[in-house]
Amino acid sequence: MTQPLNHRTAQLLTYAGTLPLVIAAVGLAVGQLPSSDVLWMASTYSAIIISFLAGIHWACHLFFSDRCPRNLLLTSNTIALLAWLSLLVPQHQPWQVLLQILCFLYLLILDYKLSVAGILPPWFYSLRLNATMIVVLALCILMSQL
């Protein structure tokens, strides 16, 4: 059975969105990219993606507040602020990347709850699970280089 075009497009764009972090992690791990620039770009990109995902949750609350498992207006803004806070600390600190990893994992937990509540479709949660695992692995590789 073929997937609808919007599912395939979402998959393509989501996996493409993981590429900057995967390229940064691989490039840094094999010593082909300068570490300070790569770490700065990866952590900045990561914070932007976290904010983007938090925006999805904010929209879910706006449209489905009666079915949301918690107040996503507060949690999504808090997560976005934590991601940006991670950029305000001195660069190249392991806890900076760890904070971003925790943000991605927390957002995934919320996606699971939104999927169970019928707000997000199962295919989207599956996609988010895969993408989050790719991103977390890439960030762990980056963190190991600090």
Q: What pLDDT, in 10s, does the model give residues 71-91?
A: 899 999 999 999 999 999 877
Nearest-angstrom CA–CA distance, 42 and 37: 8
Res 123: pLDDT: 95
What is the tens place of the pLDDT at every residue in 92-124?
688 899 999 999 999 999 999 999 999 999 999
CB atoms within 10 A of CB 109: 11
Residue type, 127: L
As a whole number of angstroms, the distance between CA 10 and CA 15 comes to 8
pLDDT digits (tens, 9 = 90+) for 129-141: 999 999 999 999 9
Cβ–Cβ under 8 Å, residues 142 and 95: no
**In this structure, what token pair is assigned to residue 50?**
């976290």
Overall average pLDDT of the 65-72 stretch: 85
